[in-house]
Amino acid sequence: MKLLTNMFFLFSVLILSGCAHQISLNPDTEKLQVTENKSASVVGYYISEDDIKTQVKTPGGGGDNVSYKPYKDTEAALYTVLSNKFENVYKLESLTDSTFLKDKKIEYVFIPTITTQSSSDSLFTWPPTEFTFTLNCKTLNNNGDIAWNSEVKGFGKAEFDEFKNDFSLSAKRATEEAFNKLVVELDQSNL
């Protein structure tokens, strides 16, 4: 009977191999650190519509992939971090709308670039046990020049006993760590 059960399990793993399972990268914004040095500046951030729609696939376990939308999933975290640091934050629909920038008195515009990696040491479960989230924030001033640039990296790890109730756990841990590092970087900046 045990042999039959093991064969069924192996067959199930082979049938499901190659699938892309949906996960989410959004960290709990309540766990994001609050800045120590609040700024009176008004800022904006820009994420293109193409980036918001971008679907990424990276390796999971058992030969499967995981799929997610990194910009869409983490936009709320970016907004939270910027709102904690600056007096007011606006989402920009365009980088070239000078009237909007002037009317809102926006001093800086943050443009995120996200890269991710995932992996798993499991042959039998698909959620990633390790996840890396890299966030580069380029910041432009009123003249369109780079005023600040920072890159932070978060690493998340989760084992089966932890992620069996949240398949996205390693990814969420990685994004939380990265955005908390961004808080520290912003505190140390002159923005």
Domain extents in the chain: 19-187
pLDDT for the residue numbered 18:
53
On the 0-12 / 13-18 / 19+ scale of CB atoms within 10 A, 129 is buried
pLDDT for the residue numbered 4:
43
How would you list the strands of the sheet with 65-68, edge to edge? 20-22, 65-68, 56-59
On the 0-12 / 13-18 / 19+ scale of CB atoms within 10 A, 123 is exposed
The CA distances from residue 128 to 70, 98, 169, 173, 191, in Å, are 15, 43, 9, 12, 36
Query: Mapping DSSP to helix (H, G, I), strand (E, B) and coil, where does residue 98 land?
Result: helix
Q: Return the DSSP state at 47.
A: -
pLDDT for the residue numbered 15:
44
Contact 181, 153 (CB under 8 A): yes
* Fold observed for domain 19-187: Double Stranded RNA Binding Domain (3.30.160)
Residues of the chain with pLDDT under 70: 1-18
CA angle at 180 for the pair 151 and 56, rounded to the nearest 5°: 60
The CA distance from 54 to 170, in Å, is 20
pLDDT for the residue numbered 161:
79
pLDDT for the residue numbered 99:
95
